[in-house]
Structure 1
């Protein structure tokens, strides 16, 4: 039996999508700009149209039924498509302004994204941007949901290769950062035992950098270094290195900015050859690109050595 889904309104779809995210009627109501009683009435309307429940009470929130969850996934896709249609049509009207929602892992954020945005700001001052710096897995989730227009990062799961278009850009070599007056700063031809005498600030073992570090030490037949701190926080890493004799592996794009007399940091002449691997410019399959986004992509790609 065909269900009369054509009776669903845009407000119904928006509420469904936010219910799947928040699992709370009040929170979903706030996100679509209606009161909680109105949201409850909309849920009743949806259930009347479907002829079956879409939610059930669960603790202090709600849980979507199988039917509700399936419809919420479709609602999110529909809303994303409509959002992209709006972007595409708006881009046809004007190519000199627009707002870009961007994501990047740390190294290309500093080495490619910020220089590209700085140039774009000079040539097209009415183009604005939000930049999220986070691990690739989180950025891919946001790109898939339509909350980001572009990501500089890596596919994090098999379906990313099917759902995203990835333009390879560069690799991410790693350097070892220390404070400027570190006992090993400036010394040449360091050997691993010298490095292992010090504490390290290390990324999580499961992160791309953590796995690259593990491979590098295995290649030298060495166990992982002792460490005083494991963190994904860039600020915490810099602070720990600045205040102690700890060693931190960071992308060379990062260390090149902070190392030197004015930055207060130095890089070590390390025997370790560490590379996190390649990253690329990622967009959704079939995504509508505005002129503003294309201009940014041209700026980013133009910085990559041939």
Structure 2
């Protein structure tokens, strides 16, 4: 049946959509272009169905939002809490991941939008810058550095730092900034991009972790939280994050309501 449909499409278009390669088939450049367009149409049809369901029932649908860690805690979470207080039936699915993974999910139609960073040369997605993301150096309460009257660069580098591998934006930012300051790279006995694993390491060791200042501010002042930021500023800041959507996509009313709330909060 699939072969027959493919042959019918080729006859209709008068263009080859596939070609044989060994024992299998592969799409021609024309076939790949049509497949990309078909995938986008399928996503738009699914969004249209959600739109119609909201209009028919008068109830908010489920919004699928993705975010990198910092804005997930500083923007998405408080905005969702406010919306649910005003609209009890408002529902959301939140995915926290790296920008690369979030953009992949967006292209596949598995997210409505994301707070992430868009790579160069992207054509399927579009972005509107929201805000920059400064970093703070975080340690456990009772860390030996906290008793020093002044913390020097040498003091910082005596301890392990918890960062991701060299491909992550945060790690690249830290390396570039330390190089600008003429400081050697810190020790990294354990590399991880997991926020929870980073907090666990901080809690059980004297390691230092550069984290988004917005994340640190979300638990600052709470004595029950076992982490604090060091009173030192190295000028660490990653590139601004953006509101990323599929190019030309029309948001459902619920998704647009959340976007409006995030813009107001930022």
Which category describes the TM-score, using the shorter chain as reference length? 0.7 to 0.9
Structure 1 residue 296: Cα displacement:
1.0
Listed one character per residue, the Cα deviations across residues 109-161 of structure 1 (whole Å, up to 9, x for unaligned) are 0000011111111111212111111111221222223221111111123225x
Q: Note closer, same or farther for the CA distance 1:132–1:64 as it changes in structure 2 (3 Å cut).
A: farther
Structure 1 residue 297: Cα displacement:
1.5
Q: Note closer, same or farther for the CA distance 1:95–1:246 as it changes in structure 2 (3 Å cut).
A: same
Instruction: Please list every run of 5 or more consecutive structure 2 residues that lacks an aligned counterpart in the other structure.
Output: none
8 A contact 1:140–1:156 mirrored in 2: no
> Under a length normalisation based on structure 1, what TM-score does the superposition of the two structures give?
0.76
Structure 1 residue 85: Cα displacement:
2.6
8 A contact 1:102–1:131 mirrored in 2: yes
Structure 1 residue 282: Cα displacement:
2.0
Instruction: Check if 1:43 corresponds to 2:6.
Output: no
Residue 62 of structure 2: SS of its match in structure 1?
strand
Residue 229 of structure 1: SS of its match in structure 2?
coil
Query: Which residue pairs with 2:184 in the alignment?
Result: 223
Query: Which residue pairs with 1:261 in the alignment?
Result: 223
Range moving further from structure 2, 77-86 or 225-234 = 77-86
Q: Note closer, same or farther for the CA distance 1:234–1:291 as it changes in structure 2 (3 Å cut).
A: same
Which has the higher relative contact order, 1 or 2, with Cα contacts under 8 A spaced 6 or more apart?
A: 2
Residue 299 of structure 1: SS of its match in structure 2?
helix
Instruction: Check if 1:293 corresponds to 2:259.
Output: no
> Under a length normalisation based on structure 2, what TM-score does the superposition of the two structures give?
0.86
How well do the aligned residues superpose, as a CA RMSD in angstroms? Answer: 2.5
Residue 249 of structure 1: SS of its match in structure 2?
strand
8 A contact 1:88–1:290 mirrored in 2: yes
Q: Note closer, same or farther for the CA distance 1:88–1:256 as it changes in structure 2 (3 Å cut).
A: same
Q: Note closer, same or farther for the CA distance 1:95–1:218 as it changes in structure 2 (3 Å cut).
A: farther
Structure 1 residue 71: Cα displacement:
4.2
8 A contact 1:185–1:267 mirrored in 2: no
- Quick one: distance in 2 between partners of 1:133 and 1:155? 16
